[in-house]
Structure 1
Amino acid sequence: PVVNENDTVSYEEIRFGDNDRLSALVAQLIDADLLLLLTTVEGLRERGGAGPLIPCVAAEDDVEQHLAQARTPTGVGGMRTKVDAAQWAARRGVEAVIAQASLEDVLLRVLQGEAVGTRFAPVEPGQAGGQRGGGGRRRWLRLTAKARGVLRVDEGAQRALVERGASLLPSGLVAVEGAFEAGDVVEIALPGQAPFARGLASYASHEARSLVGRQSSEIEEVLGVCYSEEIVHRDDMVLLRTDAAPSTAATREPSS
């Protein structure tokens, strides 16, 4: 597949400003082993391009001094956006290399481990500063996908989702906002508060409204069909905040 920020089909949902940032996100989403950023120069050089080539950059290295005047003749953002993208990917466990596109067999040479261009060493999982983990699908849900609606839930449901990793059941719903179809991304929040989770809706918005406060056993009776006992299954959900404890103590058994 070809992914291009300049002419994406879903322009509203994916707007990053340049293909360097977009390529870094794609590399993370698919758990790539390598992100190769090709440009018109050898790689990142010291002193804004006036000094020698920098062969390797570690996650903790500060390269700002070398970017003050570093630009490539073409493209948006020049060397700065490529370095930003490479560091962003490396901090999430994806090795990145900035190299010269016109170099003979550049792709093969990089894949064979030859010292070509500037390498950005990846942060290993668990290493300080590392942000990898969660799988591409969950990262897409958390960072990229556009939410089409909001599911407002009670505190019992929130507790079940946050503390027990439960699925969202219709009994925990108190309101449905927006217009969405089954399979669309929705946010999950307490009434009047910011979202604490995101997920894929099992039902369209008009169906979900009919199920507010109902038991899962009532779904078929209400809709005439039961696609799922959950409004959002836990496997299709990501938490945005792990500290999302209810603001007041519940006086009844937690619902979900």
Structure 2
Amino acid sequence: MTIQMSREDGLYYRQTLFDKARRVVIKVGSAILTNENGMNYDVIDNIAREIAFLRNSGREVILVSSGAVAAGRKKISFVPGGELSIPEKQALASIGQSVLMHVYDEAFAKHGQKIAQLLLTHSDLSHRNRYLNVRNTLKTLFKFGVIPIINENDTVSVEELRFGDNDTLGALVSNLIEADMFICLTDVVGLYNGNPHNDPKAKPIYTVAEVTPEIEAMAGNVKSALGTGGMQSKIRAAKMVSAAGGSSFIGPGREPDILKQLFSGELIGTFFFPSASKLPSRKHWIAYVLKPKGKLILDQGACYALSKNGKSLLPSGINQVIGDFGVGDSVECCDQNGDVFAVGLINYSSADIAKIQGVQSHMIAELLGFKDSEEVMHRDNLVLL
């Protein structure tokens, strides 16, 4: 659902969201934390001062920070002969984490702020109990008046345990602790409706009511050290936060007093409104945290029943099973063209679904020798995308 409003109303709504934001997640990337000499201490000092400003205004703040690998390279003067291997990245991250936290500890101490470190892998959030434990830890740190600094645990992460990037991690943390706002500080000024390098009429996009395919395509107009993929991941992160009822901002992290400017109403960067319809916490976890283990190709009737009538998925509507998955795994639902339109938790394994696809539910016990559920995927565990 798109929020329709005039430019003036949009700017007023934007400022209202800044004024009301009491819990904020701020993500900073390597592009602004480091320079050719290693850690960019001026930027780090500015970020610490700005976050202290938010803390002193009564807000709770989490910092999601990259930079461990870059800090590790500087620490041991490591110059690779080409692209870093995974073991090299993991070793450098283990060296750099202590350096990074030492720099942050000194920077925040100047402003009377205490910090704590949390290193996470994707499995810490994909297992529901661990997900809730992380949330409880963060809320306890808030109670203690401490600023949590979160990074992916690059030292132990392998492909299946990775978030992919810290933009995704920041968005997931925002939704985990029900943050009002996700602020992504990077090396670009924001989105443009054209390429400002070759289009003199290109204008900055200050507010986005809804992340549409057109908005996602605007990532190609932004040139930065991150490349197009970097901006696209930030827009996807904003979309994830919006679905959970939060707002997001993408803007220049090297700008002095950037957070003071934002919260005082300066038009800078690109601001994303929250969705008009908030996705419940558990369904957001299913849709955005879990990594799908397979796909189901559904017939037209099943697609309509799920997307339009809010029904559960029955075996009769399944045409094809793709992948190897077990009971309780996340599985995507696709139409006849293979386009994903829903995702949910599955009640039967891929091997069992292959035996019952296309049949009526009353035949499940006869074909499998047991019947755990009438539905292959219950509507309470299914999210439309």
TM-score per shorter chain, which class? 0.5 to 0.7
Cα deviations by residue, 1:190-227 (Å, 9 ceiling, x for unpaired): 23331111111110000000111121111122112111
State the partner residue of 2:275. Answer: 131
Aligned-partner SS, 2:153: helix
Which of 346, 364, 376 matches 1:201? 346
Query: Structure 1 residues 9 and 193, CA, compared in 2 at 3 Å: closer, same or farther?
Result: same
CA deviation after TM superposition for structure 1 residue 189, in Å:
1.4
Task: Work out whether 1:178 is the aligned partner of 2:316.
Answer: no
Aligned-partner SS, 2:169: helix
Which of 169, 172, 181 matches 1:22? 169
Query: Structure 1 residues 36 and 147, CA, compared in 2 at 3 Å: closer, same or farther?
Result: closer
State the partner residue of 1:93. Answer: 246
Structure 1 counterpart of 2:291, one-letter code? K
Query: Structure 1 residues 118 and 27, CA, compared in 2 at 3 Å: closer, same or farther?
Result: farther
Task: Work out whether 1:154 is the aligned partner of 2:154.
Answer: no
Return the structure number with greater helix share: 2
Could you tell which deviates more after superposition, 211-220 or 187-196? 187-196
CA deviation after TM superposition for structure 1 residue 238, in Å:
1.0
Equivalent residues of 2:300, 2:336 under 8 A apart: no
Query: Structure 1 residues 224 and 140, CA, compared in 2 at 3 Å: closer, same or farther?
Result: same
Query: Structure 1 residues 21 and 237, CA, compared in 2 at 3 Å: closer, same or farther?
Result: closer
Equivalent residues of 2:246, 2:274 under 8 A apart: yes
Aligned counterparts of 1:142 and 1:90: Cα–Cα separation in 2: 12
Which of 356, 361, 371 matches 1:226? 371
After TM superposition, list the pairs within 5 Å mapping 1:1-256 onto structure 2. 2-3=119-120, 4-7=151-154, 9=157, 11-12=159-160, 14-17=162-165, 19=166, 21-32=168-179, 60=207, 88=238, 92-93=245-246, 129-131=273-275, 133-240=278-385
Query: Structure 1 residues 16 and 120, CA, compared in 2 at 3 Å: closer, same or farther?
Result: farther
CA deviation after TM superposition for structure 1 residue 142, in Å:
2.6
Query: Structure 1 residues 151 and 117, CA, compared in 2 at 3 Å: closer, same or farther?
Result: same
Structure 2 counterpart of 1:26, one-letter code? V
Aligned-partner SS, 1:196: strand
Query: Structure 1 residues 158 and 20, CA, compared in 2 at 3 Å: closer, same or farther?
Result: closer
Aligned counterparts of 1:16 and 1:5: Cα–Cα separation in 2: 9
Aligned counterparts of 2:360 and 2:170: Cα–Cα separation in 1: 44
Equivalent residues of 2:247, 2:273 under 8 A apart: no
Equivalent residues of 1:33, 1:94 under 8 A apart: yes
Query: Structure 1 residues 178 and 90, CA, compared in 2 at 3 Å: closer, same or farther?
Result: closer
Aligned-partner SS, 1:198: strand
Number of matched pairs: 186
Aligned counterparts of 1:164 and 1:9: Cα–Cα separation in 2: 40
Query: Structure 1 residues 136 and 119, CA, compared in 2 at 3 Å: closer, same or farther?
Result: farther
Equivalent residues of 2:299, 2:318 under 8 A apart: yes
Structure 1 counterpart of 2:302, one-letter code? A
Aligned-partner SS, 1:232: coil
Query: Structure 1 residues 119 and 225, CA, compared in 2 at 3 Å: closer, same or farther?
Result: farther
CA deviation after TM superposition for structure 1 residue 36, in Å:
9.2
Return the structure number with greater strand share: 2
State the partner residue of 1:40. Answer: none
Query: Structure 1 residues 184 and 60, CA, compared in 2 at 3 Å: closer, same or farther?
Result: same
CA deviation after TM superposition for structure 1 residue 119, in Å:
6.5
Equivalent residues of 2:119, 2:153 under 8 A apart: no
TM-score by length of 2: 0.39
Aligned counterparts of 2:306 and 2:367: Cα–Cα separation in 1: 24
State the partner residue of 2:59. Answer: none
Identity of aligned residues (%): 36
